[in-house]
Chain A
Amino acid sequence: MGEVLLTVNDLKTYFYTVSGVSKAVDGVSFHINRGEIMGIVGESGSGKSVASSSIIRLLPARTGKIVSGSIDFDGTDVLKLGKRELLSFRGRDVSMIFQNPMTSLSPVFKVGHQMVEMICAHHKVSRQEAYRMGEEALRKVGIPDAGRRMDSYPYELSGGMCQRVIIAMSLCSNPKLIIADEPTTALDVTVQAQVLELLKDMREKNGMAILLITHNLGVVWQMCDSVMVMYAGKTVEYTTCKELHHNPLHPYTWGLLDSMPKLSSNSGEELATIQGTPPDLRLTGTCCNFSNRCPYAEDLCRNQVPDLKELEPGHFVACHRQGVESRLFRGGVKQHE
């Protein structure tokens, strides 16, 4: 730990659509150390999935483009990789787990066939050897009766089982980084707990880093070391997990934290909400993206894009109202004015 594995600097990914340029990711920087679990949280449309797909350059070829920024993975510049190098980079160095386990496996091939195909693509082994490796991997992720499961079709497995198969696949090549894009959103809580536990276990055993994308802050608290909050394509806050919980600084983060119903809270009181809806991503880039929903917004917020500032060591916030000398306080009390 401690050694930087992935550095993303000022990444901008735009989508060129018929109706205009959609700034899905508009200046995002972060880094992941070896063996670290980092979380990206945000609502739908905040660009968290696009940011992570950009890391392995998995974007729609015609419309999606990485406009600027740099991605450095363990010494290689990902943006300069050729087609062939990219193929071996994906899957071997970085593998990805998608949201819906049922659709990320092909329904017409048996699990074993798909595992063998995957392993043969990345390792120089015979098919028999690959089959044996696949079975071993299934056993490692806790699938009972792995031998028989190799011979089943994906539809015969439940959602949790499918997700385990996909995790097993992504582990086969022993990647340095796993990108898990909402790995448990489609699963029930009890199964979610099993899958998260498994991911954590695999980290302990193999020491890979995990980039966990989720909209569930509870999952972040349980899993992550550091966390980045995204809103409308921009980083609004980036810090360690504990710091975000104990000392969140951005008004959006406050809204997000308050609007989650808590098990221990009293149900009599009204839930805090964030008024309004997120902005159109084609029109952003002239002001603070949160200014139309922010209760603290001022003229400056509506006219200028805030930079990501390091307010406290390791705690980055993008907000005009949060400065070194002037601070906002959660709950609407404005001091230091």
Chain B
Amino acid sequence: MSEKRVILQVKGLSKDFQIKGKKLGSKKAVLHALQEIDLDIHEGEVLGVIGESGCGKSTLGRCLVGLHKPTEGEILFEGKSILGVRAKDKLEMCRNIQMIFQDPYSSLDPRHTAADSVSEPMVVHKTVKGRAAMEQRVLELLKQVGLDVQHMNRYPHEFSGGQRQRLNVARAISINPRMIICDEPVSALDVSIQAQVINLLKKLQKEYNLTYVFISHDLSVVKYVSDRIVIMYLGRIVEICNGGDIYKNPLHPYTQALLSAIPPECPDEEKERIVLQGEVPSPIGERKGCPLAGRCPQCMERCKNEMPRLKQQGEEGHQVACFLYEKK
């Protein structure tokens, strides 16, 4: 890729949730799910987002499709803000960005047949007119994801997990979106089925020049599908790098720890483990300093008081938020 066109731009995105206090009548606390996220997504790329549970990766995905209203910041799709637009324009926006959810069991209406589920977005967006044309289009979509005509009138409970996820994919691509947010699309599937769905997603990407944001907690899956990878920790981006670099040259201490925690690929492999002490701190309430400060083996005095910013480091496109690399 010579000229990378930015399709979606995220500027200073923050999302807070108000949560109830522990005691009756006590003040409400604020949970900072996302803090000051800056991100450019290029056209036709797969952007992997990885992090532990509670780090805000799903919230980020939901903000991008407009399921959450961000507290602060802007999201620009091809230069136009997708926030605060009129209802009519919003429909247009939704057409461009679609989402595939994690749980294939709960993301399909149990009372809709496969054909109903897949055709619903096309009915809402009025892209296909007439019953015969709709049926034709649904069949075409089903064939594209590896299902067939006999599956059209079945209900979700008659499908296996992998087939259901295929239906979700068919539904997402039904209105020709430019971008698909995949929120843990393969986490609920078995390895052999997982490989089938990953291959399907890759095939469709090539066919339609789709842009994916691929959210997962499984580093090997993310590494496999992504061109660039975003590593998140406690609502912040700690590192952005190209797909290959994460394995060869991880910079942030958190990324290094994450890599060392992955089970080995063969029984002879001896891994040097970087163990992070303790657990992920709670995102509730205010904090200052680097989010990893309490667990980082290389924590400095400065980390406890200041928040490191994402800075370019080394190769092009490799950004890291850590003071360790700022001195030089």
Confirm or deny: B252 has a beta carbon within 8 angstroms of a beta carbon on chain A. Answer: no
B269 at the interface (CB under 8 A from A): yes
- Is A56 interfacial (CB-CB < 8 Å)? no
What's the minimum C-beta distance from B291 to chain A, rounded to whole angstroms? 14
A189 touches B223 (CB 8 A): no
User: 0/1 per residue, B257-285, Cβ < 8 Å to A?
Assistant: 11111111111110001011011000000
Q: A262-B220, A267-B243, A272-B195 are in contact. Are A189 and B190 (CB under 8 A)?
A: no
How far apart are B226's CB and chain A's nearest CB, in angstroms?
Answer: 7
Contacts of A275 in B (CB 8 A): 196
Residues of chain B lying within 8 A (CB to CB) of residue A158: 279
| Number of interface residues, chain A, beta carbon within 8 A | 42
User: Does B7 have its Cβ within 8 Å of any Cβ on chain A?
Assistant: no
Is A59 located at the chain interface by the 8 A CB criterion?
no
- How long is the Cα–Cα vector from A147 to B259 in the complex, in angstroms? 33
* Contact residues in B for A267 (Cβ distance below 8 Å): 223-226, 243
- Asked if residues A245 and B220 are in contact (CB atoms below 8 Å), the reply is no
- The 0/1 profile, CB within 8 Å of B marked 1, for residues 239-280 of chain A is 001100100000000011001111111010011111101000
Closest-CB distance, A165 to chain B (whole angstroms): 14
Contact across chains for A245 and B196 when beta carbons are under 8 A apart: no
Interface 0/1 of A45-77, CB less than 8 Å to B: 000000000000000000000000000000000
With a cutoff of 8 Å between Cβ atoms, the chain B residues found around residue A219 in the complex are: 263
Contacts of A196 on B, CB cut-off 8 Å? 263
Q: Do B258 and A189 touch (CB < 8 A)?
A: yes
Task: Give, as a whole number of angstroms, the nearest-CB distance from A43 to chain B.
Answer: 4
Cβ of A7: which chain B residues have Cβ within 8 Å of it?
none
**Quick one: given A189-B217, A190-B257, A267-B243, are A259 and B262 in contact (CB under 8 Å)?**
no
CB distance from B306 to the nearest CB of A (A): 25
B273 touches A193 (CB 8 A): yes
Collect the chain A residues with CB atoms within 8 Å of residue B276's CB: 190
**B202→A270 contact, CB < 8 A:** yes
Q: Of all chain A residues, which has the CB nearest B263? A: A218
> Considering residues A218, A259, A265, A271, which has the most beta carbons from chain B within 10 angstroms of its beta carbon?
A271
Q: Judge whether A273 and B263 touch: CB under 8 Å.
A: no
B18 at the interface (CB under 8 A from A): no
Question: A189: shortest Cβ distance to chain B, in Å?
Answer: 5
> Which residues of chain B come closer than 8 Å to A216, judged between CB atoms?
263
Q: State which of A161, A192, A263, A271 has its C-beta within 8 Å of the C-beta of B265.
A: A263
Q: Flag whether B2 is at the interface (Cβ < 8 A).
A: no
Q: Does B219 contact A (CB under 8 A)?
A: yes
Q: Which residue of A lies closest to B279 (CB)?
A: A158
The reply to whether B219 and A277 contact each other, CB–CB distance below 8 Å, is: no
Q: Which residues of A contact B257 (CB under 8 A)?
A: 190
B279 near A161 with CB under 8 A, answer: yes
Q: Does B194 contact A (CB under 8 A)?
A: yes
A217 to B265, CA, bound (A): 8
For A190, A216, A221, which residue has the most chain B Cβ atoms within 10 angstroms? A190
Instruction: Please measure, in the bound complex, the distance between the C-alpha atom of A268 and the C-alpha atom of B186, giving whole angstroms.
Output: 19
| CB interface residues, A 152-189, toward B, < 8 Å | 158, 160-161, 188-189
Closest partner residue, chain A, to B224 (CB atom): A261
Tell me if B191 and A222 are in contact (CB < 8 A). Answer: no
Among A144, A221, A261, the residue within 8 A (CB) of B267 is A221
B262 A218 Cβ-Cβ under 8 A: yes
Query: Is A206 located at the chain interface by the 8 A CB criterion?
Result: no
B53 interface contact, C-beta 8 A: yes
Q: Is the CB of A264 within 8 A of B279?
A: no
Does chain A have a CB within 8 A of B160? Answer: yes
Q: Indicate if B208 sits at the interface (CB-CB under 8 A).
A: no
Which residues does chain A contribute within 8 Å of B247, judged by CB atoms? 263-264
Task: With both chains docked as a complex, state the minimum distance between the C-beta of B273 and any C-beta of chain A, in angstroms.
Answer: 7
Interface flag for B52 (CB, 8 Å):
yes
Counting CB contacts under 8 A, is B192 at the interface? Answer: yes
Q: How far is the CA of A270 from the CA of B275 in the complex (A)?
A: 33
Contact of A241 among B191, B260, B265, B267 (CB under 8 A): B267
| Shortest Cβ distance from residue A229 to the other chain B in the assembled complex, whole angstroms | 12
Contacts of A256 in B (CB 8 A): 191-192
Which of B191, B258, B269 contacts A259 (CB under 8 A)?
Answer: B191
Question: Is residue B198 within 8 Å, beta carbon to beta carbon, of the partner chain?
Answer: yes
Q: Is residue A328 within 8 Å, beta carbon to beta carbon, of the partner chain?
A: no
In this assembly, does A194 line the interface, its C-beta being within 8 Å of a C-beta of chain B? Answer: yes
Q: Is B162 an interface residue (CB 8 A)?
A: yes
- Give the residues in chain B near A144, CB-CB below 8 Å: 278
* Bitwise interface map of B from 208 to 231 toward A, beta carbon under 8 Å scored 1, else 0: 000000000101110111100000
CA distance A188 to B191 in the complex (A): 18
Contact B198 A262 (CB under 8 A): no
Taken together as a complex, chains A and B put the C-alpha atoms of A193 and B275 apart, in Å, by 8
Which residue numbers of B lie inside 8 Å of A, CB to CB? 52-53, 160, 162-163, 190-196, 198-199, 202, 217, 219-221, 223-226, 243, 247, 257-269, 273, 275-276, 278-279
7 additional A-B pairs beyond A190-B258, A259-B195, A261-B224, beta carbons within 8 Å, are A43-B190, A190-B261, A193-B273, A259-B191, A260-B195, A263-B220, A273-B192
Query: Could you show 22 A-B contacts with beta carbons less than 8 Å apart?
Result: A44-B190, A158-B279, A188-B53, A189-B52, A190-B258, A192-B261, A215-B191, A221-B263, A221-B265, A221-B266, A222-B264, A241-B267, A245-B266, A259-B192, A260-B195, A263-B223, A263-B259, A263-B262, A267-B243, A272-B195, A273-B199, A274-B192
Binding site for B on A (CB under 8 A): 43-44, 144, 158, 160-161, 188-194, 196-197, 215-219, 221-222, 241-242, 245, 255-256, 259-265, 267, 270-275, 277
